[in-house]
Chains A and B, each alone.
Chain A
Amino acid sequence: MAAPKTPAAKRTIGELLRRLLLLDLFKGLMVTFRYNARALYETRDGGNPNQAIYTEQYPLEAARVSERFRGAPRLNLDPENGSTLCIACDLCALACPVDCIEVGSIRREVREGEKVNKKKVLTTFTFDTSRCMFCNLCSEACPTDCLELTQSFELAVYHRAGFRWDREMLEKGINYVRYAK
């Protein structure tokens, strides 16, 4: 060896002992063992943010999405009298960048006390989920918090016609088969 032995080239006793007793190897073993043990006794739920196993057994367990997830559209109803909140202003259709909303309305005479007004009333509301890109512009445009994108994301259908949702489907929502096994 031509190089003189600098202090960095010498090995300390600690290093030698660590090599002899294979301490680094055992540290690695402890890490995996701890994961193994935690996987056996920990309960897996959303309440434990540091759990060892995060696997979500979909479709047995309902998939968890965040609150601001944008999924299937819904027309909200007035909680007091069950009538629709939609005022047929057409702002959502105008805001939609892919033109997937069609709002149909008629003007009807509504008596409010003394005056008689002609108000727009919603008749049909068609939403094409195959064109929708779930950008939420329609929901932000709605002045009455009627149109809202929910957290439901299982929107697959068997026929293309199933993608065009009418007013009734939008108000009630779709019910899909839950696999329990």
Chain B
Amino acid sequence: MQDILATLLFVAPDWVLSVTRERRPNAFWAEYVLWPAIQILVVLFIVLTLVAYLVYLERKVSAFMQARLGPMRVGPWGLLQPLADGIKLLLKEDIIPIKADRAVFIIAPIVSVVAALVVLAVVPWGAAWATIANVNIGLLFILAVSSVGVLGLVLAGWGSNSKYSLLGALRSSAQMVSYEIGMGLSIIGALMFARTLSMSGIIDGQRLDGIWYVFFQPLGFLVYAVSALGETNRAPFDLPEAESELVAGYHTEYSGFRWALFFMAEYSAMIVTSAVAVTVFLGGWMFPGITGTSLFGFGPIANPTVHTFASIVVFAAKIMALIYAYMWFRWTWPRYRYDQLMELGWKWMIPAGLANIVLTGIWYVLALPKAQGGVFGFMREVNSRLVPTGRGIIYFIVTAFVVTIPIVWGMLVTINRRSRDFNLHEQRQLQSQLRRERLEKMLQEQPRPAETAGD
């Protein structure tokens, strides 16, 4: 019964049915054409405007962090700056290099931006009807379609017929692919508790378990955060597009609106990876006391429309906090060299993700109810779903922070013992000792040449 009720919440509202004059059981145009079209238009409009204003926000945040003001002239506090930028980019001359592969050059930004925008269909923007497509495999869909974005990069780099673009595209695509693996592995730990790949199902899991999964999976969150930074080519992993390095990497040869499309793809990817982090680890659109669960008896909002709008606002606030963190990291930390970046992705993030899966699995199996073969019995079955008890919650949190993290850290240190940069301390000691020995040898040998000269 509860599953039927849950699915009913994602159908078209009544006023759409009154427009198409169909009855609910077999409403085709309302359910599958009109209502999704309205949702898509709203989401696209909001997200594209948000992308433009994220550029403005980045400029302001970076300015404040650098003790300056940022855009101030164009509107009050520079708020119309994105509008001016958009108009400028539309009116710019469209330059295509003569020797560039025209078809590939034109298609590359389209592939990039479409791959970035398609993902918005499965993101759970809020409760009830605030998702466009509530598929069972939402998370898998997001990971898969993000991978298509790499194709756009490679096409851009190759089609530009320029060495900087090609090198930038190669580096960028290699980096994105490496960190995608880390991203995929890091969320599996949380998926063990959620038992579903559906985005709204994961949020529901956090509601039923009564806790955000970030407390069960701090290592998973950390690995996901680092991998998301690497996936979206954001600092400190932005060597492929740093201006002092490769001019502008794969989008060197693009001007005007084509460049704007690449920019939109990058910022949409930021939004989507933040949305996945919020959904899987930070409780999605839930906030205790407003939506989702009750806090101190102050229950979730009763009126369903207000509840959904409040959930959208909560989700947006959480995403904006993560995006601020993206910008904060970019303007604080220096960037990684390319080989350090790849080493971090392959030798630190992927082993950490794998170890997280193994250890989480061990804790999970140990905590199964005794009837299913577990040892501690810290979970109970509620509506054919395993929910941790109060003790179970404490057990999972303690094992995650106190046992998993030291074990994984020790394992990573052991794996990377031979790495060049890691034992820099000892290498320097060895260097100074060798220098001292060489100096002593030189001082000992010095009298001999003087004797032969005296002969």
Q: Which residues 58-85 in B have Cβ within 8 Å of A in the complex?
A: 61, 63-69, 72
Q: Complex formed: what's the CA distance from A54 to B63 in Å?
A: 12
- Report if A32-B331 is in contact (Cβ < 8 Å); known contacts: A3-B433, A57-B69, A57-B72: yes
A3 touches B332 (CB 8 A): no
Q: Which residues 405-455 in B have Cβ within 8 Å of A in the complex?
A: 409, 425-426, 429-430, 433
A39 touches B430 (CB 8 A): no
Does A53 reach chain B (CB closer than 8 Å)?
A: yes
Q: Complex formed: what's the CA distance from A103 to B66 in Å?
A: 51
Closest residue of chain B to A20 (Cβ to Cβ) is B409
- Report if A54-B332 is in contact (Cβ < 8 Å); known contacts: A3-B429, A9-B426: no
B430 touches A1 (CB 8 A): yes
Closest residue of chain A to B324 (Cβ to Cβ) is A36
Q: Residue B65 contacts which of A1, A20, A32, A55 (CB distance < 8 angstroms)?
A: A32
Q: Which residues 31-71 in B have Cβ within 8 Å of A in the complex?
A: 61, 63-69
Chain B residues closer than 8 Å to A9, beta-carbon distance = 425-426, 429
Q: Complex formed: what's the CA distance from A9 to B430 in Å?
A: 9
- Report if A54-B67 is in contact (Cβ < 8 Å); known contacts: A6-B429, A33-B328: yes
Does A62 reach chain B (CB closer than 8 Å)?
A: no
Q: Which residues 104-145 in B have Cβ within 8 Å of A in the complex?
A: none
Chain A residues closer than 8 Å to B68, beta-carbon distance = 53, 55
Report B318-338 CB contacts with A as 1/0, cut-off 8 Å: 000000000011011100000
What's the nearest-Cβ distance from chain A to residue B367, in Å? 26
Report A54-78 CB contacts with B as 1/0, cut-off 8 Å: 1101000000000000000000000
Interface-located stretch among A23-31, A158-166, A170-178: A23-31
Chain A residues closer than 8 Å to B61, beta-carbon distance = 36
Given contacts A32-B332, A36-B61, 20 further A-B pairs with CB under 8 A are A1-B430, A9-B429, A28-B333, A29-B332, A31-B332, A32-B65, A32-B328, A32-B331, A33-B65, A33-B328, A35-B65, A36-B65, A39-B63, A39-B65, A40-B64, A52-B64, A52-B67, A53-B64, A53-B67, A55-B69
A to B CB contacts below 8 Å, 5 in the list = A2-B430, A3-B426, A3-B429, A6-B429, A55-B69
Chain A positions within 8 Å of B, measured between CB atoms, are 1-3, 6, 8-9, 11, 20, 25, 28-29, 31-33, 35-36, 39-40, 52-55, 57
